[in-house]
């Protein structure tokens, strides 16, 4: 791992500083990607279904409907979400033993069902994700994952939805309980930036939710929002661009807020222009 990080440091340092590319556009120092809702629509048909399977397997009569899950998503983190649900909707539930251990086991079981679902091909990447990752890799721009989801979920998603070796495309996977406070706290972004010594305002974050946007902005990272199924209608003020997805040449995005300067998809050129405006 140490050698791996060192190698990426060398690659990144061979490239020009973030401030100078042709036409005044700025070269992003790194691209920081959220996972759930941003790389793929994982929540309604992925995590939610897996939570329900885990509940049934544990003999619980809990069932998270699509609309209830929309409310529960306000709480980031699967364990935190279960804890909130019990407090709010099952206040009389008696935990068999230590509540934290019970929630942790339930959550692990959920993650196993989630990984099975990914392996079965039930989830695919959102438009433009593979293209933009490829462009950034070709340009030697570091890629980082910055997420509240568990590391094993990220690994499964990268392996099954992107490429069996995709874990190696990323300089850092900052995930889950590595920081005590999850998004909307900025901690996970600060952790990732500090790990690579990155200047926050020269990077770009990609988020799908208001919680994610708040985390990135509080850490000082300019943020592009690709709204997802559950996050439409949230408050995205502070984003440098809000689109329905990253877009492909044959599948242009729709701009929901901000100025894309006539672009049809989020590419390095557009990101450079967005940074130059900041
Ligand atoms: C989304 C989350 C996660 C997932 C479930 O995080 O809040 O909790 O819903 O994953 P992000 P876990 O968009 O930042 O990736 O059960 O592993 O928490
Ligand atoms: Mg998200």
Q: Does residue 182's CB lie within 6 angstroms of at least one atom of ligand 1?
A: no
| 33 and 132 inside one domain | yes
| Confidence check: pLDDT of 4 > 90 | no
Residue 47 belongs to a domain with what CATH number? 1.10.150.240
The DSSP output letter for 23 is G
Specify the residue with its C-alpha closest to ligand 1, atom 16.
78
Other C-beta atoms within 10 Å of 186: how many?
Answer: 20
- Residue 9: per-residue pLDDT: 35
- Residue 56: per-residue pLDDT: 98
Could you tell which of 64, 115, 149, 213 is best to mutate to test the pocket of ligand 1, judged by most ligand atoms within 8 Å of the CB?
A: 149
| 31 and 112 inside one domain | no
Residue 96 CA to ligand 2 centre (angstroms): 32
Q: Kindly state the tokens that stand for 24.
A: 């005044």
| 240 and 226 inside one domain | yes
| Confidence check: pLDDT of 7 > 70 | no
Mean pLDDT for 69-74 is: 96
| 148 and 227 inside one domain | yes
- Residue 13: per-residue pLDDT: 38
Atom of ligand 1 nearest to the CA of 152: 17
| 24 and 95 inside one domain | no
| 178 and 253 inside one domain | yes
Could you tell which of 33, 77, 184 is best to mutate to test the pocket of ligand 1, judged by most ligand atoms within 8 Å of the CB?
A: 77
Residue 255 CA to ligand 2 centre (angstroms): 19
| 264 and 193 inside one domain | yes
- The pTM for the full model equals 0.91
Q: What's the pLDDT tens digit per position in 118-132? A: 999 989 999 999 999
State how far the Cα of 267 lies from the Cα of 274, in Å rounded to an integer.
11
Q: Does residue 153's CB lie within 6 angstroms of at least one atom of ligand 1?
A: yes
Q: Kindly state the tokens that stand for 128.
A: 């433009």
Residue 156 CA to ligand 2 centre (angstroms): 16
| 256 and 169 inside one domain | yes
State how far the Cα of 210 lies from the Cα of 235, in Å rounded to an integer.
6
Residue 217 CA to ligand 2 centre (angstroms): 14
Residue 152 belongs to a domain with what CATH number? 3.40.50.1000
- Report, as residue numbers or ranges, the catalytic residues: 34, 36
- Residue 86: per-residue pLDDT: 98
| 106 and 135 inside one domain | no
Q: Which residue has the higher pLDDT, 2 or 53?
A: 53
- Residue 5: per-residue pLDDT: 32
- Predicted confidence band of residue 172 (pLDDT cuts 50, 70, 90): very high
- Residue 127: per-residue pLDDT: 98
Residues contacting residue 119 through CB under 8 Å, at least 6 positions apart: 156, 160
Residue among 54, 56, 88, 46 at smallest CA distance from 71: 88
- Residue 105: per-residue pLDDT: 98
| 187 and 72 inside one domain | no
- Predicted confidence band of residue 260 (pLDDT cuts 50, 70, 90): very high
Mean pLDDT for 81-98 is: 97
**For all residues of the chain together, what is the average pLDDT?**
92
- Predicted confidence band of residue 232 (pLDDT cuts 50, 70, 90): very high
Closest listed ligand to the CA of 206: 2
| Confidence check: pLDDT of 58 > 80 | yes
Q: Does residue 21's CB lie within 6 angstroms of at least one atom of ligand 1?
A: no
Q: Which among 119, 147, 162 is the end of a domain? A: 119
- Residue 20: per-residue pLDDT: 52
Residue among 157, 159, 163 at smallest CA distance from 137: 163
Q: Which among 119, 137, 161 is the end of a domain? A: 119
| Residues 206, 224 contacting (CB under 8 angstroms) | yes
The DSSP output letter for 125 is B
**Helices assigned H by DSSP within the chain:** 2-13, 48-57, 66-72, 78-89, 99-119, 129-138, 151-157, 187-196, 210-218, 268-277
| Confidence check: pLDDT of 28 > 50 | yes
| 87 and 132 inside one domain | no
Q: What's the pLDDT tens digit per position in 218-231? A: 999 999 999 999 99
Mean pLDDT for 84-95 is: 98
Q: Which among 91, 119, 147 is the end of a domain? A: 119
| 222 and 110 inside one domain | no
Residue 166's domain comprises 5-41+124-276
Q: Does residue 148's CB lie within 6 angstroms of at least one atom of ligand 1?
A: yes
For the chain, how many structural domains are there in total? 2
- Write out the E strands in 217-264: 223-226, 241-243, 255-257
Q: Tell me the DSSP string of 166-215.
A: GGGG-SEEEEGGGSSS-TTSSHHHHHHHHHHT--GGGSEEEESSHHHHHH
| Confidence check: pLDDT of 1 > 50 | no
CB-count exposure of residue 22 (10 Å: 0-12, 13-18, 19+) = exposed
Q: Does residue 207's CB lie within 6 angstroms of at least one atom of ligand 1?
A: no
Please state, for a pLDDT cut of 90, what percent of the chain lies above it.
Answer: 90
Q: Does residue 46's CB lie within 6 angstroms of at least one atom of ligand 1?
A: no
Place of tokens 């068999």: 96
Mean pLDDT for 176-205 is: 96
Mean pLDDT for 232-247 is: 97
């Amino acid at each position: 791992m140490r050698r791996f990080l060192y190698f990426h440091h060398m690659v990144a340092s061979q490239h020009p500083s973030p401030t100078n590319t042709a036409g005044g556009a700025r070269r992003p120092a790194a691209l920081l990607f959220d996972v759930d809702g941003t790389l793929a629509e994982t929540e309604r048909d992925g995590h939610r279904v897996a939570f329900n399977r885990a509940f049934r397997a544990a003999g619980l009569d809990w069932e998270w409907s699509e609309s209830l899950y929309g409310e529960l998503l306000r709480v980031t983190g699967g364990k935190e979400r279960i804890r909130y649900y019990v407090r709010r909707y099952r206040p009389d539930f008696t935990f068999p033993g230590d509540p934290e251990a019970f929630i942790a086991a339930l959550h692990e079981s959920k993650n196993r069902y989630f990984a099975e679902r990914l392996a079965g091909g039930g989830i695919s990447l959102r438009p433009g994700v593979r293209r933009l990752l490829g462009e950034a890799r070709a340009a030697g721009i570091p890629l980082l994952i910055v997420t509240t989801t568990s590391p094993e979920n990220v690994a499964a998603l990268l392996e099954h939805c992107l490429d069996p070796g995709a874990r190696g495309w990323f300089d850092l996977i900052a995930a889950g309980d590595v920081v005590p406070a999850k998004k909307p706290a900025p901690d996970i972004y600060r952790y990732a930036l500090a790990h690579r010594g990155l200047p926050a305002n020269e990077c770009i974050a990609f988020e799908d939710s208001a919680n994610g946007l708040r985390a990135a902005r509080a850490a000082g990272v300019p943020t592009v929002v690709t709204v997802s199924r559950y996050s439409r209608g949230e408050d995205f003020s502070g984003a440098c661009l809000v689109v329905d997805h990253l877009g492909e040449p044959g599948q242009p995005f729709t701009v929901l807020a901000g100025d894309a300067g006539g672009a049809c998809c989020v590419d390095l050129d557009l990101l450079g222009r967005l940074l130059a405006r900041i």
